[in-house]
Amino acid sequence: MDTVKKLSTTYLKLFVFRYGIILLAVILIIGALFLLGPEKNVALFTITLILGTLFFSVLSLLDYRRLKKNIRLASVSLVNNTLWINGQVFTLDRIREITPLSVGEGINDKNAFSLIEIRMADGKAYYFLDQPLDWKFRSRTIKLLRRLPELSSKIREERTVTEGLASLSGKL
pLDDT tens string 100-157: 887 765 444 454 567 888 889 888 888 888 776 666 667 778 888 888 888 888 888 8
Q: What are the C-alpha distances in Å from 124 to residues 36, 69, 99, 147, 150?
A: 58, 21, 14, 24, 19
| Amino acid identity, position 131 | Q
- The string of pLDDT tens digits covering residues 2-25 is 677 777 777 777 777 777 778 888
Query: Phi and psi of 151, rounded to 5°?
Result: -110, -20
Average pLDDT (89-103) is 84
pLDDT > 90 fraction of the chain, expressed in percent and rounded: 1
* pLDDT at residue number 13: 76
pLDDT > 70 fraction of the chain, expressed in percent and rounded: 83
Between CA 120 and CA 122 the distance in angstroms is 5
Average pLDDT (39-68) is 81
* pLDDT at residue number 163: 61
Query: Phi and psi of 73, rounded to 5°?
Result: -100, 150
Ordered DSSP codes for 115-157: EEEEEETTS-EEEEEPPPP-TTS--HHHHHHHTSHHHHTTBPP
